[in-house]
Amino acid sequence: MNLSMGPGKKEKKNIHLDYDTVIIGAGVAGLYQLYRLRELGLKVRTFEAGSGVGGTWYWNRYPGARFDSESWTYGYSFSQELMDEWDWKENFSAQPENERYLNFVADKFNLRENIQFNATVVSTQYHDDRRYWEIILENGDCYTSRFLITAIGILSAPTMPNISGVSDFKGVSFHTYYWPKEEIDFEGKRVGVIGTGATAVQLIQEVAKTAGHLTVFQRTPNWCAPLHNRPITAEEQKEIKTSYEEIFAKCRASYAGFMHDSDRRRALQVSDEERQAFYEKLYREPGFGIWMGNFRDMLVDERANTTISEFVAGKIRERVKDPAIAAKLVPTNHGFGTRRVPMETHYYEVYNQDNVQLVDLRETPISRITEAGIETSDEMHEFDMIVYATGFDAVTGGYSQIDIRGSGGRTLTDKWADGVRTFLGLQIEGFPNMFTLVGPHNAASFCNIPRCIEQNVDWMADLMTRVKVDGLNRIESTAEAEEEWTGHVHLMAQRMLFSKTNSWFTGINSNIEGRDQRSVLLYAGGAPGYRDKCDEVAAADYAGMILH
């Protein structure tokens, strides 16, 4: 097999191939995968739906969007030159800077020449007889490729709420994922925001600064913790650049790829005073430490979790002046950290402002959207602008947007109709030569994502090296390997409290009909354990995969 064929050239079996590998998506994962495959001399094409690179950081440009993992742990680690050249400005970098960084990477490594922008993939079909994938774009263009790699991200399929009249509103409205590139002015405007998840929390605290009146429609309160962001000093910048090896080693060793790893003590093994002091310390520190650097049993033991939940509830009551509003902002249906923890900057203080109103949809649900605004069961709220911060069809939603057909024409939707099944969260039995970066059952979906992305991509690059050296045409996981891995994923999830909670971690989405049953979408065995599993498979000559 010739893995360096150009368009129009023929393989010895008279099969026309446009590319050796097609990548869907030019975000953090897609850019690095493109870089690694080009290093191997493969003919690669990336199809990107947007007009620029960045993925998450291209689409999510709403005010307040920023990292909640430390900036210097989020960037790529594969190039020392890149790390030396780039200066992060803040501990938790904002969207404009993050998009600029990914554009800098694309330009530095001349990646754009292999990327086709404004190219939405609508369907893919594997042809068994010719052993290639056919990829069709929204404009009707069709391409063929031996291998297909999805880099579509876990939060790339936004969902709108199931509310009648959405199209009736005469003012400005959009989902946060589709935030316009032009600046939106909230000065003096009447703004309604539906949702109080991680995106909404970042947005609300910015809109409240200038809006004439902001109404927040809360469906489910979330446990939020202070981000404590600030600029990086010149001295800190120097220290970061001389410490990258240590920084990435620490991330590599931690459970979820962050600078924070769990305290080895158990919450109930220490005195009340010691536990309270520890929580106070975490609450004052920046980043995810209060979530990922807490007591080791905080996410697996309900009694331990109750102690941190009560602590954070107390902080909410301290920060929100009106006890009735504070009570509405304290979650009662899940414990702290069992859903994704939004990181905030003066979010709770927003509700002390005269220009901000909280509407609890558990008490007064939305009846419909009208030409003028939002009507609830007890009041009509008129707006100039409505923002839908209503989340995503997470992890699997990006796959549902594409008609993916594997061996024999079977659709991925049918394959997963009774639950997601994968091998390593990287391949799916019955879908040869297709690989899913940051896919379901992958550690990268519960991780400081670039750290786990690099592991995914490097593993794939090693496999593609094997493909090139041995002239392989077809790679597919076995049904037995898929069943074993899926069982392992479910076993790892059972011990975690999040598996008992309704959230995107467990596939629950009230905006999608029939999505009210929990499923396991994340790998909860930790990034180091996942990496070991992948390495074991590779070391055993890719055990669990059939290589032709």
Question: Residue 364, Cβ neighbours under 10 Å: how many?
Answer: 13
pLDDT given at position 298: 97
Neighbour-count burial of 159, counting CB atoms closer than 10 A to its CB (0-12 exposed, 13-18 middle, 19+ buried):
buried
* The predicted structure's pLDDT at residue 511: 79
Backbone angles phi, psi at 41, to 5 degrees: 80, 20
What pLDDT score does 15 carry? Answer: 56
251-255, 410-414, 507-511: segment of lowest average pLDDT: 507-511
- Pairing mode of beta strands 373-376, 366-369: antiparallel
Q: What is the DSSP string of 84-130?
A: HH----BSS-BHHHHHHHHHHHHHHTT-GGGEESS--EEEEEEETTT
Residue-level pLDDT at 5: 32
pLDDT of 542 higher than 80? yes
pLDDT of residue 2: 36
Cα 420 to Cα 172, 445, 519, distances in angstroms: 38, 14, 8
Evaluate if residue 203 carries a pLDDT over 50. Answer: yes
The tokens for 69 are: 């993992």
Look at residue 514 in the predicted model and tell me its pLDDT.
Answer: 73
Sorting pLDDT into bands at 50, 70 and 90, what band is 375?
very high
Direct distance between the N- and C-terminal alpha carbons of the chain, in angstroms, rounded to an integer: 11
Residue 222, pLDDT above cutoff 70: yes
Which H/E stretch holds residue 484?
helix 479-494
Closest among 437, 448, 449, 425 to 537, alpha carbons compared: 425
- For residue 517, the model assigns a pLDDT of 79
In this structure, are residues 431 and 404 in contact, taking their beta carbons and an 8 Å threshold? yes
Q: Does 6 score more than 50 pLDDT?
A: no
DSSP state of 220: S
pLDDT tens profile 265-286: 999 999 999 999 999 999 999 9
Residue 522 in contact with residue 446, Cβ under 8 Å?
Answer: yes
Please state the rounded mean pLDDT for residues 377-402. Answer: 96
Q: Where are the beta strands (DSSP E) in 184-340?
A: 190-194, 213-218, 225-226
How much is the average pLDDT of 24-52? 98
Cα 102 from Cα 53, distance rounded (Å): 7
Q: What is the pLDDT of residues 271-328, one digit of tens each?
A: 999 999 999 999 999 999 999 999 999 999 999 999 999 999 999 999 999 999 999 9
In this structure, are residues 99 and 107 in contact, taking their beta carbons and an 8 Å threshold? Answer: no
Show the DSSP H helices in 320-386 as ranges: 323-329
22 forms bridges with which residues in the sheet?
A: 45, 148
Q: How far is CA 130 from each of CA 14, 102, 469, 472, 527, rounded to the nearest angstrom?
A: 9, 36, 20, 13, 37
Which has the closest alpha carbon to 151: 28, 67, 44, 37?
A: 28
Strand, helix or coil at 346?
coil
The rounded mean pLDDT for the chain is 95
Which residues contact residue 31 at a Cβ distance below 8 angstroms, ignoring those fewer than 6 apart? 53, 102, 105, 106, 111
Tell me the pLDDT tens digit for each residue of 234-270: 999 999 999 999 999 999 999 999 999 999 999 999 9
Q: Provide the pLDDT for residue 3.
A: 39
Residue 14's pLDDT is what? Answer: 42
